[in-house]
Amino acid sequence: MGFKSEKIIRISIVYLISIYQKMISPFLPRACRYEPSCSCYAHQCFIKYPFFKALWLSLKRLGRCHPFFEGGFDPVP
């Protein structure tokens, strides 16, 4: 993936996450066990890291976000 196309994809994902956070999330009960929330974590990852690293970190976080994990403070590395 070229640098320009990767940047366009990352910006698009950040935009979609922002839409989710502003238009959908406020109407749902808070379910995330972590702080920051999983959507905020993914948003920060896609701003800070290249596409595949951001995707990997976001998917790992989503995989840990369930009732069998304690949760808590988990900032973007």
Kindly list the domain boundaries of the chain, sorted by start residue. Answer: 3-73
**Tens digit of pLDDT for each residue in 28-70?**
998 889 999 999 999 999 999 999 999 999 999 999 998 888 8
Distance CA 59, CA 13 (A): 14
User: Residue 1 pLDDT > 70, yes or no?
Assistant: no
Distance CA 6, CA 13 (A): 11
Position 4 scores a pLDDT of: 87
Distance CA 41, CA 1 (A): 23
Averaged pLDDT, 9-29:
96
Can you list the alpha helix ranges (DSSP code H) found in 1-77?
3-19, 38-48, 51-64
**Angle, helices 38-48/51-64, rounded to nearest 10 degrees:** 160
Provide the whole-model pTM.
0.90
18: confidence class by pLDDT, cuts 50, 70, 90? very high
